Structure 1
Amino acid sequence: MNKRHAAVTATALALALTLAACSSDDDDTPSSADPAAAISHIHGLGLAGERLYVATHQGVYTPTAKGEPELVGDSKDDFMGFTVAADSTFYASGHPSEGGNKGLIKSTDAGKTWTSLSLNGQSDFHALDFAHGTIFGLDATNGLLRTSTDGRSWKDGATLQALDIAVSPEDPGTVLATTAEGIARSTDGGKTFTQGKEPVMAFLSWPAKDALYGIDTSGGLNRSSDGGATWKPVSTVPGGQPQALTALDAEHVLAATQDGVYESKDGGRTFTKQLAVESSSGY
């Protein structure tokens, strides 16, 4: 086995293990009320207005003026899939603190309160994306890519074992997914996917036609200007193993790693820590 093949195999194995770890989280029940411990396991990032929102294993948090985590609302449930659809409109999924699956939930007041929309007790979306007026969800409970235009009725797509998804900002039919084999591609809105192909990425975010970002399992940030056909390395996000990635536009990137939430406003070339978290491995 040559060095390159060995490295690719090791990376694919790492992602496969994180996929398994992500699924095994389903029965975890948060127990600590300490904010630092609560944000040791991050599942999603978003920006509404100028405020950062961090979806974690024990609620959604935002930094205070002093850079300390503050719980948004009063929910300390496990927020898995999380996406900001508009300034005050969030979609999420995960597990109630007492266990089970939340299905799809929605907030119209920037995370202060949440309403159950559908699939309560049935589904856990580990990744959510909102694009072209459609919710794209990776249902980890049932191993499906699902889509919905209203959050209540769903169309089932391909059977898929993946960690993250990203939808083309130009074409609602193009959906990418990160698998243990590499990036899988759909050209029919998630009904079918190709086999995953290298490179292997943990998370993707696609804010502009010529700005698709991917972060690998070691925190290496990469950018594609041609929809994932080719990639160029940009930098390494500080803090080790990544936990979440969200790009707001072609230059503005948020990434969570084992020790913090980082922000870049120069296309990922440099990062500034916005929120420190307790070191944690896993997704």
Structure 2
Amino acid sequence: MLVLASCSVPATEQTEGTAQVPRGRGLPSDHVHGIAFNPADDKVYLATHDGLFRYDDTGPARVGPVIDLMGFTAAGPDHFYSSGHPGAGVDMANPVGLIESTDAGETWSTLSREGQTDFHSLTASEVGVAGFDGAAVLSTPDGQAWTTLEPPVATFALAASPDGTTLLVTSQSGPARSTDGGDTWDVVPEAPLLQLAYFSDDQTVVGVAPDGIVFLSTDAGATWDQRGTVEQAPQALAARAQRNGQLEILVVIEGALLRSVDNGFTFAD
């Protein structure tokens, strides 16, 4: 039986190019909690136990203060949300609650739930942010007021469509799906067991199973087709459309950042 491995992540805007990730550079930290494309500079950002890193031409470069960034998601150009724990010398509560950066991670400000919540998974959409703190799934339209959502499974990770209409949660029981922003939920019949999922647009979702098999949905998570494999449990996942219409998919596994540019059929570092 497949078992979900302990890590998480989650939504960014769709862009047209192929992000700059130097080949064979490895990872800047032993564990990666999140990955995102930044439309502002067309670069890839990794949220890790050792802070945020940006992939430049010569490899990963640290950005901003050292915060153990747990849940992490990009909401738009230079606009990130995260959670986690402050590093040495960082003047924030522990846990930091929901924090926001509007300068691509150079600085962070606390929005709410400081000293209270460590979101393990975050996802952003046009209508707000949803997060899972290990116990409950919560959503907020403004980073301040929170509503508890009630998916019918024990949540592991979250994903939201860019318009915020569709939410997916992964679980050991299989994914559950809401098509009304989290008001009502259904377990997806005959869906694969997914560890992580990610919307590249309102209908296209990439999912990765605990054993590394990659799946693609073109109907917002209602049905799934099997693609290739990354051969290990995923730590983080992101996807976006390229100019040629194919998906660019990034998957972090232990020790490597893998990329597919053919809709998930093949991956390379």
TM-score, normalising length: structure 1: 0.77
Which residue among 194, 199, 203 is the counterpart of 2:196? 203
Q: Could you give the per-residue CA deviations for residues 221-242 of structure 1, whole angstroms, max 9, x where no partner exists? A: 110122223211111126x221
1:70 has 2:61 as partner = yes
Give the match for residue 182 of structure 1.
Answer: 174
SS of the equivalent of 2:238 reads: strand
SS of the equivalent of 2:186 reads: coil
Question: In the alignment, residue 66 of structure 2 is paired with which amino acid?
Answer: K
1:100-115 counterparts in 2 under 5 A? Answer: 100-115=94-109
1:161 has 2:154 as partner = yes
Q: Give the direction of change, closer, same or farther, for the CA distance of 1:79–1:149 in structure 2 (3 Å limit).
A: same
1:253 has 2:243 as partner = no
Q: Could you give the per-residue CA deviations for residues 213-259 of structure 1, whole angstroms, max 9, x where no partner exists? A: 10001111110122223211111126x22101111236121110112
1:230 has 2:223 as partner = yes
Structure with more helix by fraction: 1
Q: Aligned partners of 1:156 and 1:174: how far apart in 2?
A: 16
Give the match for residue 121 of structure 1.
Answer: 115
Q: Aligned partners of 2:199 and 2:28: how far apart in 1?
A: 28
Question: In the alignment, residue 76 of structure 1 is paired with which amino acid?
Answer: V
Q: Could you give the per-residue CA deviations for residues 121-166 of structure 1, whole angstroms, max 9, x where no partner exists? A: 11111111111231111222xx222111211221222266322111
| RMSD between superposed Cα atoms in Å | 2.4
Q: Could you give the per-residue CA deviations for residues 50-108 of structure 1, whole angstroms, max 9, x where no partner exists? A: 111000111011223222x32111x2221111111111111001122369311100011
Q: In percent, how many aligned pairs have the same letter?
A: 35
Q: Aligned partners of 2:183 and 2:118: how far apart in 1?
A: 19
SS of the equivalent of 1:272 reads: coil
Q: Aligned partners of 2:162 and 2:266: how far apart in 1?
A: 24
Q: Which has the higher contact order (CA 8 A, sep 6+)?
A: 2
TM-score, normalising length: structure 2: 0.81
1:216 has 2:209 as partner = yes
Q: What are structure 2's unaligned runs of at least 5 residues?
A: 9-25
1:61 has 2:61 as partner = no
